[in-house]
Structure 1
Amino acid sequence: MVGKLAVIAGLMFGFGYGLVPMYRHICAALGINVLSLTERQATSYNAGSAGRTGKANTQVDTSRTITIEFDANARGPWEFKPAMRSLQVHPGELATVMYDFKNVQNRVMAAQAIPSYAPKQATAYFNKLECFCFNEYTLQPGESKAWPVVFVIDPKLPKDVTTITLSYTFFEVPGKSSAAAAAAAVTVKEPRS
């Protein structure tokens, strides 16, 4: 009985060990490219003096350059601005820009940003992967934040669009600021046991 169990355990180990090469061959045969991040990094960089190797991102349209202009509008007494006013990108290229915000009021506030695009037809081609506009934020008096916007311009953007303006309007969320301030006051006033 012990011998049979040892054979079964050995077969299970061998099958588990063989799954990785089998998976790679199946993916290669079907044309599926789902390498893990560490495998992608290992194949993207050459340890020798030649530097970076591997395949280039074929979805980047290097024949075109789009100018992205950044604008910030604040509806309230706070500071809100992009770290840079414009950036040139190729369609399909991943880009990041930071926005700086400071609550200059002497009270807690809840706020959110709403994006808008010009020209309007560019909206469908401006793909944000990460953006502070996805969430509401509660900021303490004098608190500063730096938030990223990570985006890609779709290569299918019409050829006549060469400049896109991304504008954010940052506004206070009605009713939420007083609730956030009350919650902060309760937290501060709780007696210690």
Structure 2
Amino acid sequence: MSKNDPQGGSQERGLNRVMLRKLVVVAVLMFGFGYALIPLYRKICEVTGVNFLTLKDATVEAPSNTQVDKTRTVTIEFDGNSQGPWRFRPTVASMQVHPGEMTQVTYEVVNTQSRNVDAQAIPSYAPQQSAAFFKKVECFCFTQQTLGPNEAKQMPVVFYIDPKLPKDVTTITLSYTFFEIGGKDKKAG
């Protein structure tokens, strides 16, 4: 057939349509097969007992951290002192925790100035012997903080009390002093 043959062009278009239909059918079948694999995979795993996660049973107790000492509680008191142009305070005054239990508390700071302020928080503990047993996982005191003009921040402290804390320690005070770094010569930026 020549390129100018009108019948050859229509035959080619017909073959293209047939090929397009076949490709659409293959694509739909592939999607359906992929979609069907999820329940099929679960059923195969259930039958063979391989990689099968059972559904939660109401009679089964949820796993717990075995290092948490549920036999005692420690009162943690929170305190915030500021040495600079801001308001700084914990959002709660105290809480009861079990040794070994992961806990979070939030401190709030508000820059009352119309300029940027760089600051750092330094923790202290009472009684002093408790410092070795107070384990911080995440804390705003790990890094220097920059507060924009009139900015307010909520800053978390994630911690746990080491279960080896002596039994006679029933109350720990975590106190932060938040102070400015670099002086007052910075301008708002």
Q: Same fold (TM over 0.5)?
A: yes
Q: Distance in 1 between matches of 2:137 and 2:179?
A: 22
Identity, in percent, stands at 59
- 1:99 aligns with 107
CA RMSD of aligned residues (A): 2.1
How do residues 1-193 of structure 1 correspond to structure 2 at under 5 angstroms? 46-48=55-57, 50=58, 53-175=61-183, 178=185, 181=187, 184=189
The aligned length equals 138
CA contact 1:109–1:178 (8 Å) conserved in 2? no
Shift of 1:163: 0.2
The structural deviation recorded for 1:174 is: 2.3
Distance in 1 (CA, whole Å) between partners of 2:156 and 2:59 is: 29
After TM superposition, the runs of 4+ consecutive aligned structure 1 residues lying more than 3 A away are 51-54
How far did residue 64 of structure 1 move? 0.8
Letter in 1 for 2:99: P
Distance in 2 (alpha carbons) for counterparts of 1:166 and 1:155: 17
Q: Which runs of 5+ in 2 are unaligned?
A: 1-50
Q: State how far apart, in whole Å, the 1-side matches of 2:134 and 2:82 are.
A: 22
Contact 1:65 1:89 in 2 (8 A): yes
Listed as ranges, the gaps of 5+ residues in structure 1 are 1-38, 185-193
Bigger Rg, structure 1 or 2? 2
